[in-house]
Structure 1
Amino acid sequence: MAVLADSDTRWKWGALTANRVAPAGPGDPGDPAGSGIRLDGYLLRGRATPTARQLGEVGVHADSLREVTAVEFLRAMREESYDLLVLALVGGGVQAMLHGLKRAWEDRPRRPVVVTGYVGVVYEKLADGLLLRHGADLVLANSRQDAERFRAVYEGVGADASAVTEVALPFLGGAAYTGEHEPYTVVFAAQPSVPESRRDRTYLLDRLVRHARRHPEREVLLKLRSQPGEHTTHIEELPYQKLAQRLDLPSNLRLVYGHMGEVLDRTDLLVTISSTAALESLHRRIPTVVLTDLGIRESLGNHHFVGSGCLASWDQLDAGHRPEPDEAWVARQGVAADGSYATAFDAARERIAKLLERPGGPPPLTPYYTPVTAPGYLPGILARHHLGPDGTPLPGAPAADREPGPVRQIVRRAARGAYRHGVQRVAPVIRRMGEL
C-alpha cells in the first residue's frame, strides 16, 4: 500500500489510516510495516513538506519514504503496483491526483483502491472540501455526525454518496485516565493558525502564564506542533516560542514537543481552542476544556464543540471549574470512548476488500468535478500541480527521470527556507505597516 501526504499531520493520518483499513487487518498503529504489509510513503513537495525532525516526532514508520512532485508521483503510480492508496492531502491536491491517476491508469487492467478523508474536525469549507475529494473509492468520515453531513452534501448536488464511510480518527489510543498525577499537569495544546492575531495569541500565552503562577504546585505544559521555520498543515506566522521569549516564564511552565499521545499519558487537564487533541483527550476520558475566552466562533473552530459540555473560560478554570463531557455528543464525534474503537474501521476494511475482489478490480475513478461540471474551477486546480484539463502532465512539468543533483537540492532547501522566513518574519511586519 502507498500514502501520498503533503504535511506532517497528514502523513501521520494517512499512514495510520492505511494501516487501520488494510484488508488484512490492523497491525501496530505506529508501525504499519510491522503488520506484514509493505507501506511506501510519498511526500508531496511544497511549503509544508515535513522535516526529518517532524517525521521522527510523528512516530510512524514506512518501508520507503521519498519526496516527490505531483508529476513524479503519477509516474510512480504507473510503474508500481499497489492494492491500496491513501491520499492524505488538502482538497485541491486530492482532486488533482484523482484526475491525474484516472489518466495514468486508463490503460491498466487493475488499479488500487483509493482512499481519502480529513485529518480531524471538519469545521470550515465543508462543501468545497468534500466535492474536491469526491471521486475516491472511499471518503472517510471520522464520526457519525460527519458521515451524515458528507452524504447530505453529495446527495444535495446529485453526486454519488456511496463512497462516504464512517470510521474514527486513526491515532486514538492510549490508556484511559484513572486519576490525578503527581504533579497535577495542565496541558495547553497550541494550534499553528488558531487564533491568528498577535493580540489573541499573546492573550492565551499570558493566561497560561498566570495559571502557572496561580498554581505553583502544578506542572503547566505548552504543547507545540512545530519549531520556528517548520510548517505543518497550516501556516504559523507567530509561533508561541517567539512570543514566549519576551516573557519571564515561571519555573513550572515548560514548552514541549513530541508525540501527543505521550504528552496525554501525564495530562490531568487538556486545554485548547479547537485542536483535534481534544478528541484524543476525550477518547481517553481525560478532563478536557475548549476555551471560550475569544468567543465561540466559526473562524476559531470551537463552534464544533457546542453541545459537548467542554466549553469554559480561563476564569472558570482558575476558579476550579471542570467541565463534564456530554456522552451523547461524544458518541456522535467518533471519539469511541465507550470501547467501540476496536471495530471502528471494520466497514472500511470490508468495503476495500470487496472492491479488490471485484472482477476487473475497482471501476474507473469518476470525480464530480469535470471540465463539464466545473469548467471555470477545475483547470486552475489541475494547473497548480502541472496537469492539463484531462489530467495529463503539462509540457515542462517536473519529471522523475532522475534524482535532483546536490546543487538542485540545496537550491530547493534554500527556497523553502526563504519562503518560511517570509511567512513568519516579513509578512507580519508588512501587515502591521499596512495597519498604520
Structure 2
Amino acid sequence: MPESTSGVTAGGKTRVAVLADSDTRWKWGALTAQRLAPDLHLTGFLLRGRATPTARQLGEVGVRADRLAEVTCAEFLAEIEEGGYDVVVLALVGGAVQAVLHGARALWPTPAKRPVLVTGYVGVVYEKLADGLLLRHGADLVLANSRHDAGRFRAVYEGAGADASAVTETALPFLGGGPYEQRTSRAHTVVFAAQPSVPESRADRTYLLRRAAQHARRHPDREVLVKLRSKPGEHTTHLEELPYQRLVERLPGGLPANCRLVYGNMGEVLDRTDLLVTVSSTAALEALHRGVPTAVLTDLGIREALGNHHFLGSGCLASWDQLDAGLRPVADPAWLAGQGVIAQGPYERAFDTARERLAELVARPALPAPAPYYTLATAPGYLPGILARHHLGTDGRPLPGTARPAAADSRVRRAVRAWLRDAARGAYRHGVQRVAPVIRRMGEL
C-alpha cells in the first residue's frame, strides 16, 4: 500500500480521515464522508489485517482519496492526534471501532477540540445487532441506514441503559444510478449477486451456482451473470472459504455460453440488469433503489443465518423455480420506505439531519471525551481482550513495544515490511481457501 506523508492540507475544506478494514467498508466510509461533507479533503487509512483490500479491489470500488496509507491501530491514533482532522469516519468491524474509541478517549480524556467520531454499518444488519451496536457506542454519530434501523439501534442502547442520542438516521451512501427502464416484458440480463459467506456450505453454494446455470440453459435468450465480489486470494468483509471460481471448475457440464462470472463496480453492473437475484446481499437494496426487479432467494429457507429474513414483507422473496417460470417480483413501497430505499424519491434529503448534526459538532470549541458503554466497570471480562487484539492496554494506550510511525524509516525497510506483510497475508488466504476445506473434509470421513 502507498505510504503516507505527515500533514493535512485543508484549504478551507472539511478535513476527513476514513479508517476502513475491507474494500466494502472503505466504499461505505468514503462515500459516507462525501455525503456528510461534500467539500472535503479526504485522507484514507486501511487497517492492516486479513481483509486489507488489494489495489484491484480499491480500483473496483471507484472511490479515490487525496491520500491513502496502510496503518495499525496505534499508528492511526498517532495520526489523528497530530493530523488536525475535523471528522474521523470509522468504517470497521465492531471490535476495531471500540478499540479506536478507547484510544481516542486516552488522547482526549477531558473536553477538547478533537475530531468528530462517526461510525455505522456497511449494509443490512441481520446478525449480532446488540453486540455490534454496543461496540460502536461512544462515537459522536452512529449512523443508521434507514428508519427501521434507527428504531432498532435506539432500542438496543436504551435497553442497555446507554445514551442513544448519537443514533442518526441516514441511508446507504452508495445508492444511486439511473432508474431502471424496462425494455421488454422479459428479463434479458439476470444477475446473481454472490456473497462471500452466505451460504457457507459447499453443497449450498454449488446448488446456487447450478441453478443459475440451469436458468441460463432454460432461457437461452437471456444472459446470466454471476457477480463476484473478489478474486481467489483476495478477501473482503467476510471470509470466503469456498470461492465460486473454484466451484465452477467442478460444476458438471460447466457454465453454458450465456452464463459467466463477472467482477466490477455493482452500480455499473446494475446499469444493464433486468433482474437481480441474491440470497441477502446489500446489492438487493441498490437494485431496489433503482427500480430493478429483485428476487431474494428462498430455496435454502428463510433463515436468520442467511439474512434473507430481513426481506420479510418486501415482496421480493422468491425461488429459482418461480424465476424459471417467469416471475419478476414487485417490491412493496411501504417496506422500501422503511428501509431507506426511496426509488425515484428525495434520496439526498436522507442525509440532511446527519449533515446538520455533524456541522454543529465540528463548530464546537470543544467536545467531551468519548464515552463508550463498555468500560472496565461494565465489561471487565470482555473489553480487555478486544483492546489487546489491537495492541492497546485497558487504558486505551498502545501496549509497550507496539510499533509507532518512524519518520526515519528508510524506503528499503518500508518495502521489506510491505513485502513480508503481503507474503503473510497470501499464506493466510491460501490456508483459508485451500488447506482449511481439505482438513475439514478429512475430519468428516
Normalised by the length of structure 1, the TM-score is: 0.95
Tell me the distance in 2 between the aligned counterparts of 1:81 and 1:108.
16
Tell me the distance in 2 between the aligned counterparts of 1:420 and 1:197.
18
**In the TM superposition, what whole-angstrom CA distance separates every residue of 1:22-73 from its partner, at most 9, and x where no partner exists?**
1xxx3xxxxxxxx4x2100000000000000000000001000000001111
**In the TM superposition, what whole-angstrom CA distance separates every residue of 1:155-196 from its partner, at most 9, and x where no partner exists?**
001100000000000000001011137981000000000001
Secondary structure, aligned partner of 2:44: strand
**In the TM superposition, what whole-angstrom CA distance separates every residue of 1:247-266 from its partner, at most 9, and x where no partner exists?**
32111111110000000000
Tell me the distance in 1 between the aligned counterparts of 2:199 and 2:44.
32
CA 1:4–1:205: 2 relative to 1, 3 Å: same
Tell me the distance in 2 between the aligned counterparts of 1:348 and 1:278.
24
Contact residue 140 and residue 166 of structure 2 kept, 8 A:
yes
Secondary structure, aligned partner of 2:41: coil
Residue 434 of structure 2 corresponds to residue 425 of structure 1: yes
1:367 aligns with 372
1:254 aligns with 260
Tell me the distance in 2 between the aligned counterparts of 1:242 and 1:400.
40
Secondary structure, aligned partner of 2:314: coil
Secondary structure, aligned partner of 1:387: coil
Tell me the distance in 2 between the aligned counterparts of 1:78 and 1:60.
25
CA RMSD of aligned residues (A): 1.3
Residue 54 of structure 2 corresponds to residue 45 of structure 1: no
1:140 aligns with 143
2:388 aligns with 383
1:8-23 → structure 2 map (5 Å cutoff): 8-22=23-37
Tell me the distance in 1 between the aligned counterparts of 2:156 and 2:91.
21
Tell me the distance in 2 between the aligned counterparts of 1:268 and 1:422.
38
Contact residue 166 and residue 347 of structure 1 kept, 8 A:
yes
CA displacement at 1:105 relative to structure 2? 3.0
Secondary structure, aligned partner of 1:85: strand
1:32 aligns with none
Please tell me the residue identity of whatever aligns with 1:339. Answer: G
CA 1:108–1:328: 2 relative to 1, 3 Å: closer
Tell me the distance in 1 between the aligned counterparts of 2:257 and 2:294.
24
Range 178-187 or range 2-11, more displaced: 178-187
- Long gaps (5+) in structure 2: 1-15
CA displacement at 1:338 relative to structure 2? 4.4
2:416 aligns with 407
Tell me the distance in 2 between the aligned counterparts of 1:174 and 1:3.
24
Choose from 298, 309, 322 the match for 1:303: 309
Please tell me the residue identity of whatever aligns with 2:383. Answer: L
Residue 346 of structure 2 corresponds to residue 328 of structure 1: no
Secondary structure, aligned partner of 2:27: helix
2:180 aligns with 177
Choose from 43, 47, 71 the match for 1:68: 71
Choose from 88, 94, 99 the match for 2:97: 94
Tell me the distance in 2 between the aligned counterparts of 1:407 and 1:87.
28
Tell me the distance in 2 between the aligned counterparts of 1:108 and 1:327.
45
Residue 9 of structure 2 corresponds to residue 5 of structure 1: no
1:221-370 → structure 2 map (5 Å cutoff): 221-247=225-251, 248-358=254-364, 360-370=365-375
CA displacement at 1:104 relative to structure 2? 1.9
Tell me the distance in 1 between the aligned counterparts of 2:180 and 2:108.
48
Choose from 157, 161, 165 the match for 1:158: 161
2:11 aligns with none
1:26-41 → structure 2 map (5 Å cutoff): 26=38, 35=39, 37-41=40-44
1:30 aligns with none
Residue 401 of structure 2 corresponds to residue 396 of structure 1: yes
Tell me the distance in 2 between the aligned counterparts of 1:109 and 1:308.
46
Choose from 209, 213, 222 the match for 2:213: 209
Aligned length: 423
Tell me the distance in 2 between the aligned counterparts of 1:78 and 1:162.
25
CA 1:300–1:183: 2 relative to 1, 3 Å: closer
Contact residue 111 and residue 367 of structure 2 kept, 8 A:
no
Please tell me the residue identity of whatever aligns with 1:19. Answer: Q
Residue 127 of structure 2 corresponds to residue 120 of structure 1: no
Secondary structure, aligned partner of 1:414: helix
Sequence identity of aligned pairs in percent? 74
- Long gaps (5+) in structure 1: 27-34
Please tell me the residue identity of whatever aligns with 1:217. Answer: D
Secondary structure, aligned partner of 1:39: strand
CA displacement at 1:407 relative to structure 2? 2.4
2:12 aligns with none
Tell me the distance in 1 between the aligned counterparts of 2:147 and 2:395.
35
Choose from 184, 195, 199 the match for 2:203: 199
Tell me the distance in 2 between the aligned counterparts of 1:407 and 1:185.
46
Tell me the distance in 2 between the aligned counterparts of 1:241 and 1:14.
28
Tell me the distance in 1 between the aligned counterparts of 2:229 and 2:58.
12
CA displacement at 1:136 relative to structure 2? 0.2
Tell me the distance in 1 between the aligned counterparts of 2:241 and 2:285.
25
Contact residue 77 and residue 104 of structure 1 kept, 8 A:
no
Tell me the distance in 1 between the aligned counterparts of 2:224 and 2:101.
45
CA displacement at 1:398 relative to structure 2? 2.1
CA displacement at 1:376 relative to structure 2? 0.5
